[in-house]
Amino acid sequence: MHVQDVAAALERIAPSALAAEWDNVGLLAGDARAEARKCLLCIDLTPEVLSEAFAAKAQVVMAYHPPIFKALRRVTADEAPLVFEAVRRGLSVCSVHTALDAAPGGTNDVLAGMLGLRDTRPLTPAGADDECKIVTFVPPRELSAVAEAAFCAGAGRIGNYFDCAFFAHGVGTFCGGEGTHPAIGRAGRHEAVEEMRLEVVAPAGRAADVCAAIRAAHSYEEPVLDVYPLRRFPPGSGMGRVGAVVRPLSAAGLVRRVKRAADVARVWVAEPASARRTKTPPRVKRAACAAGSCGDLWRQALRAGATFYLTGEMRHHDALAAAREGMTVVCLGHSHSERPALAELARRLRVELPGLRVVLSRRDRDPLRIV
């Protein structure tokens, strides 16, 4: 077995196409053709974890958080000491991060399982089936009319939102050939004109209608129209989860359940003022979760009918706003919300690669603790 086999198994479990655009996942360092017999799983590749990997004679480390995040201009002992030492000693490094968060059976499904949720769906689905993105370029004065034509033809709907579009400013160039009648300038002369880029999403089945509507509203003889198919992802892919609580509990009861499942002694809780005045608190029937720094998804959770939201960390004012809207928010701590997924990832890796020894790091720790 080789490193590339481990990387391929991780890709099957957590497709890199599901990762956030800003993320860096996959095989980050090492030789894909090198032999692989043991893989160590951790949240963060720290000096302690690196020493543990060497002592355990692992050939691969799967660090959930990518140790190469921003672009590196140099891989030296000073600029990137952990990556440098790993490569120097023949240790390959992979990461899954937000790809595992969004993947079915990944980080957020593990959190949902801790809450005891059923009939779950993502808070923010990863793309949509049978959709496309349509792009055109129009003179600024025609932007509103062309966009409205696209919307009327069925474009611009995202979930419960409508008339959604993106605009950007630029300059377009062209030269009309013999027999053309440019809307701007003259045939046979090179022109450079101010234009707006218009992007809209649409159901694939309405793409022809949307394109026809754009052409009809456009002043150009030959408007540019680009149609991009949107990627299809496995059902249930996306960030966060929301669902019904199988055995409804009070918010305090759910907090106890979460602490027990995550093996933590303390969590941060923001709750509505009414909860502190109620002797018989209502049971939570619908809850949501999102691992890591997903405190800003609480509004999606609220719109989905959740009254309880579990995440890693949340900004102060988001916690205030959520409590004001009647939602109980629980913050496990960033890596504490991600760590439970490692055991499930190890199990799935063993199924994918029976010949690979997969172990969980014992020296991987959250960098923060309450004292």
Confidence of residue 326 (pLDDT cuts 50, 70, 90): very high
Task: Name the more confident of 175 and 28.
Answer: 28
Strand locations in the chain (E)? 26-29, 38-42, 60-63, 92-95, 117-121, 124-125, 131-138, 166-175, 190-203, 225-229, 238-239, 241-250, 268-270, 283-290, 308-311, 328-331, 357-360
pLDDT at residue number 192: 79
pLDDT at residue number 77: 92
Task: Tell the burial category of 198 from Cβ atoms under 10 Å away from its Cβ (0-12, 13-18, 19+).
Answer: buried
269-285 mean pLDDT: 84
Q: Inform me whether the pLDDT recorded for 230 exceeds 90.
A: no
Token pair 């960098």 in the structure block, residue: 367
**Residues belonging to the chain:** 371
Residue 363 carries which side chain, given as an amino acid letter? R
184-212 mean pLDDT: 87
**Could you tell me the CATH superfamily of domain 3-97+339-360?**
NIF3 (NGG1p interacting factor 3)-like (3.40.1390.30)
The CA distance from 170 to 295, in Å, is 35
Asked if domains 3-97+339-360 and 104-124+238-332 share a fold, the reply is: yes
Answer for the pair 43, 335: CB distance below 8 angstroms, yes or no. yes
Q: Inform me whether the pLDDT recorded for 294 exceeds 60.
A: yes
Determine whether domain 131-229 maps to CATH 3.30.1490.20: no
Q: Inform me whether the pLDDT recorded for 365 exceeds 90.
A: yes
Answer for the pair 238, 122: CB distance below 8 angstroms, yes or no. yes
pLDDT at residue number 127: 66
**All structural domains of the chain with their residue ranges:** 3-97+339-360, 104-124+238-332, 131-229
Q: Inform me whether the pLDDT recorded for 188 exceeds 80.
A: no
| Cα separations in angstroms, 59 against 1, 31, 40 | 11, 10, 8
Nearest to 256 by CA among 244, 266, 246: 266
Task: Name the more confident of 336 and 180.
Answer: 336
Tokens, residue 325: 């809207």
246-271 mean pLDDT: 95
Q: Inform me whether the pLDDT recorded for 31 exceeds 80.
A: yes
Confidence of residue 104 (pLDDT cuts 50, 70, 90): very high
Confidence of residue 128 (pLDDT cuts 50, 70, 90): low
Confidence of residue 99 (pLDDT cuts 50, 70, 90): very high
Query: ∠ at Cα 221 (215, 224), nearest 5°?
Result: 60
Confidence of residue 201 (pLDDT cuts 50, 70, 90): very high
Confidence of residue 369 (pLDDT cuts 50, 70, 90): confident
Task: Name the more confident of 72 and 4.
Answer: 4
Token pair 């439970």 in the structure block, residue: 340
Coil, strand or helix at 311: strand
63-93 per-position pLDDT tens digit? 999 999 988 888 999 989 999 999 999 999 9
**The CATH number fitting domain 104-124+238-332, selected from 3.40.1390.30, 3.40.640.10, 3.40.50.1100, 3.40.50.20:** 3.40.1390.30
pLDDT at residue number 71: 82
- Kindly report the pTM of this predicted structure: 0.76
Q: Chain-wide mean pLDDT for the chain?
A: 93
Confidence of residue 231 (pLDDT cuts 50, 70, 90): confident
Q: Inform me whether the pLDDT recorded for 222 exceeds 90.
A: no
What percent of the chain shows pLDDT beyond 90?
78
Confidence of residue 229 (pLDDT cuts 50, 70, 90): confident
Confidence of residue 129 (pLDDT cuts 50, 70, 90): low
Q: Inform me whether the pLDDT recorded for 167 exceeds 80.
A: yes
The CA distance from 253 to 94, in Å, is 37
Confidence of residue 204 (pLDDT cuts 50, 70, 90): confident
Q: Inform me whether the pLDDT recorded for 368 exceeds 90.
A: no
Task: Name the more confident of 175 and 78.
Answer: 78
Pairing state between β 92-95 and 238-239: unpaired
